[in-house]
Amino acid sequence: EIVLTQSPDFQSVTPKEKVTITCRASQSIDSSLHWYQQKPDQSPKLLIKFASQSISGVPSRFSGSGSGTDFTLTINSLEAEDAATYYCHQSSSLPLTFGQGTKVEIK
Amino acid sequence: QVQLQESGPGLVKSSGTLSLTCAVPGGSIRNSNWWTWVRQPPGKGLEWIGEMLHSGSTNYNPSLKSRVTISVDRSKNQLSLKLTSVTAADTAVYYCAQTGDYAFDIWGQGTMVTVSS
């Protein structure tokens, strides 16, 4: 099973700051890494697929990068509405797995 | 626009069977996508339960494989989940999701299931 480890677990950020969340895979997954945003009491929402591919309707301040074992989700100029928990997910091999989540709080 | 709607009992007795359905209004269960179940215990992260292709192919999480069955009812255009021998550890919000291009691109609103002793 591929283990995904996100860092940090929690981040408190001021609006307009840049946020960087990393996801490290226990073995290479090429670019089979996707990012989700989950706001309180809501379902997860797909933000980025295949490490860096944008999703229609997602604000351009969200971007992703990486391949192999190391991946990054970047939120440029954080807005209050971005307060949420962010998860990475790998689709390289079964069982499909998620990172433990990174909670982003707005100061 | 495809929507997903989970439904089922909110309370299940310990050692019993959890049964949920996921309706797909606005779409067809017969399309080429995989259909997935994911769960989230209160205050915790996401766990993949398993997936099914409309043709009947399935993949399950090994940690749950002996207790899980995912099926499709094409006549009702819905997906089903059965989890047997439940315990308190199975208390969670259960989501169904459509897998589009290997990512979960559409999610249901989720349904909370509590296992009582």
pLDDT at residue B27 in the model: 84
Structure tokens given for A104: 């982003």
Closest CA–CA distance from residue B63 to any residue of chain A (Å):
9
pLDDT at residue B10 in the model: 95
Compute the radius of gyration of chain A from its Cα atoms.
13
Give Cα separations from B80 to A44, B60, B61, B76, B103 (angstroms). Answer: 20, 14, 16, 11, 20
Give Cα separations from A17 to A38, B50, B81 (angstroms). Answer: 20, 38, 42
pLDDT at residue A70 in the model: 98
B48/A95 touch (CB, cutoff 8 Å), yes or no:
yes
Distance between CA atoms of residues B62 and B65, nearest Å: 5
Of B103, B109, B110, the CB nearest to A91: B103
Compute the radius of gyration of chain B from its Cα atoms.
13
pLDDT at residue B31 in the model: 80
Q: Is the pLDDT of residue B32 over 80?
A: no
Question: Residues of B at the A interface (Cβ-Cβ below 8 Å)?
Answer: 36, 45-48, 51, 59-63, 95, 101-105, 107-110
Residue spans of beta strands (DSSP E) within chain B: 5-7, 11-13, 18-23, 34-40, 47-53, 58-60, 68-73, 78-83, 92-100, 103-107, 111-116
Distance between CA atoms of residues A56 and B112, nearest Å: 29
Residues on chain A touching B36 (C-beta within 8 angstroms): 96
**pLDDT tens across A5-62, in order?**
999 999 999 999 999 999 999 999 999 999 999 999 999 999 999 999 999 999 999 9
**pLDDT tens across B78-103, in order?**
999 999 999 999 999 999 999 988 99
